Amino acid sequence: MRRHYAIEVTLTRPASLRELHRARQRVALAENADRTRLMTVQRAKSPGSALHRMRRRLDGQLPVDVLATHYPDRCGRLLLNVDLGRTATKAVRRAAAANGQRPGDFLGRRLAQDVECRQQERHRRLAAHLESLLHQHTPEEVLSCAAGLLSRRLPSAAAP
C-alpha cells in the first residue's frame, strides 16, 4: 500500500527563483523565506523509497544537501537521505568495513553518537550554570524564577 510522506529538503545554498520554477514543474514545493529549506510530499511504499524517489526527481534541479522525513517513525526516528560525494562515501565505506558494519548503519550510529554528545555537553553547561546560581540563591528562589519564566514561554492552556 502506498502512502504519502512529508519530506523536508535542505539546500546547500538558497535556490534561485529560476531553479524553483523548474523544480516545481516536476514536484510541488513550499519554500521558507530564504529559500534554503523546502517541504514536499511524496507517495511511496516506505519512507526510504519516498526519499529515494524525491532524490531522483530533484537531482539536477536544485542544490539538494539533505532530504529528511518530516515526521518521526514509530521509534521516534527521522530518516535522512544524504549525498556525500565520492570522497566522503569512500571514507565512510572504509570506516564501516573496518568496524564490520554496513555504511548506512555506521553513518547512522556516528550521527546518533554525535547528537548524544552534543546533548550531554548542553546538559553539562546547564548544570554548571545552575550550580553557579545555587551559590548565590536558595533552591526555592531558583525554582520559583524558572517556573515563572517557563509559564510565560509556554502557550496558555486556558486561553479564552
pTM metric for this prediction = 0.63
Cβ atoms within 10 Å of 81's Cβ, excluding its own: 18
User: Grid coordinates in use for 89?
Assistant: 562515501
pLDDT, tens digit only, all 160 positions of the chain:
888 999 999 998 999 999 999 999 999 999 999 999 999 999 999 999 999 999 999 988 999 989 999 988 778 888 888 888 888 889 989 999 999 999 888 988 888 888 888 899 999 999 999 999 999 999 999 999 989 988 887 765 554 4
Instruction: Identify the pLDDT of residue 152.
Output: 86
Instruction: Identify the pLDDT of residue 156.
Output: 59
HEC readout, the chain: CCEEEEEEEEECCCCCHHHHHHHHCCCCCEECCCCCEEEEEEEECCHHHHHHHHHHHHCCCCCEEEEEECCCCCCCCCCEEECCCHHHHHHHHHHHHHCCCCHHHHHHHHHHHHHHHHHHHHHHHHHHHHHHHHHHCCHHHHHHHHHHHHHHHCCCCCCC
Domains of the chain: 3-83 (3.30.70), 89-151 (no CATH)
Instruction: Identify the pLDDT of residue 89.
Output: 86
Instruction: Identify the pLDDT of residue 155.
Output: 67
User: Grid coordinates in use for 92?
Assistant: 565512510
